């Protein structure tokens, strides 16, 4: 049996605005638009697909990284410093400092256009799983 991740779902208060944020800020590409109101999208971010669709409600605790369930989307970069500079030019506000990752390397947390938790992940050049 061969199992792999196909996509990650992100319910959004404003799916159009969130899709546009991922395209403008993160360089994502729309690969599917259902054409409905409210819309649903599949966008490609590197080799990962994100499904963005209408949320029924918002949770003020979605940025709490210690709640049960999926909590953040980690984005591998070659250099956190370089990615931070580029993302700041695109309007991203960082409220934390770079810190050591749990296993190796460093991480830097930030929020997407609706406050969902993301982080940049920089591994050492010689890191091997």
CATH number at residue 106: 3.10.180.10
Predicted confidence at residue 67, as pLDDT, reads: 86
| 46 within some domain | yes
Segment 45-69 shows an average pLDDT of 90
In angstroms, the CA 87 to CA 119 distance is 12
Residues 5 and 51 occupy one common structural domain: yes
44-77: string of b/e by CB count within 10 Å (b at 16+)? bbeeebbbbbebeeeeeeeeeeeeeeeebeebeb
Where in the sequence is the domain holding 29, given as residue range(s)?
1-56
- Per-residue pLDDT tens over the stretch 65-78: 898 888 899 999 99
> Helix H segments across the chain?
15-26, 80-89
pTM of the model: 0.91
pLDDT band at 46; cut points 50, 70, 90: very high
Q: How many domains does the chain have?
A: 2
């Amino acid at each position: 049996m061969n199992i792999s991740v196909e996509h990650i779902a992100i319910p959004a208060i404003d799916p159009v605005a969130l899709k546009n944020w991922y395209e403008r800020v993160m360089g994502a590409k729309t690969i599917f638009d259902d054409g409905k109101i409210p819309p649903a999208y599949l966008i490609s971010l590197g080799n990962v697909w994100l499904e963005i669709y209408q949320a029924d409600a918002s949770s003020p605790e979605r940025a709490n990284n210690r709640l049960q369930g999926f909590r953040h989307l980690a984005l591998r970069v070659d250099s956190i410093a370089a990615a931070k500079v580029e993302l700041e030019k695109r309007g991203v506000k960082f409220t934390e400092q770079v810190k050591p990752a749990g296993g190796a390397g460093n991480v830097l947390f930030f929020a997407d256009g609706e406050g969902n938790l993301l982080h940049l992940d920089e591994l050492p050049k010689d890191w091997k799983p």
